Amino acid sequence: MRAGYGGDYAARLALVADRLGGPADVLEVCPGDLALYRHLAARGLVRAYIGLEQAPAMLRSARRRGVDVRAFDVRAARPLPTAETVIMQASLYQFHDVADSLLARLWAAAGRLLVVAEPVRNLSQSRSALARWAARALTRTVDGRVHTFRYTEAALLEAYRRARVPVSRLDRTPGGRELIVTSLKTP
């Protein structure tokens, strides 16, 4: 991920962290290697943290680090645990076939804030066959699926509209690869 996104990878972490506005109770869906957790913790932005992950290697890594990451199948229709802030990074494309209901569940779980960072331009759409192959191979999930679908900005915002999740703010990483969509609940 870091190699494929270059400077946009670090920029995404910073933009997501900036949206929190201060220390928060965080639920991260599909936290992967816990890069965001480490970034938020280093900035003093984590009061409490729960990650929901399906990949056994990521679950083992989180256990070794002592981070509360729980085995969870996002595709299951179960409600998500609630938290002040719910975050999903670079993963919604893997669930595009259930994105409308998943976005609604993420929004329902968020007490105050939902932040979704999603690639809208990436290497899987490259003109280079080698770059496309590498990007797709890196998106293979624990179930063995290779995810070729990617959102465009318009398609992502349309998914929000269909899910009836408000968009409070849009940010783009400097290279324009990712869109950070912030949805804020008003008191």
Range of the domain at 63: 2-184
pLDDT at res. 136: 56
Is the CA virtual torsion 25, 95, 136, 127 positive or negative? negative
Q: What is the DSSP letter of 76?
A: S
CA–CA separation, 70 vs 112, rounded Å? 22
pLDDT band at 47 (very low <50, low <70, confident <90, very high): very high
CA–CA separation, 178 vs 80, rounded Å? 25
Q: Helix (H, G, I), strand (E, B), or coil: what is residue 109?
A: helix
In this predicted model, what pLDDT tens digit does every residue of 76-125 receive, in sequence order? 888 999 999 999 998 999 899 999 999 999 999 999 999 999 988 665 55
- Both tokens assigned to 106: 């993420």
Instruction: Specify the CATH number for the domain of residue 38.
Output: 3.40.50.150
Report phi then psi at 112, rounded to 5.
-135, -35
In this predicted model, what pLDDT tens digit does every residue of 121-130 receive, in sequence order? 665 555 666 5
Domain total for the chain? Answer: 1
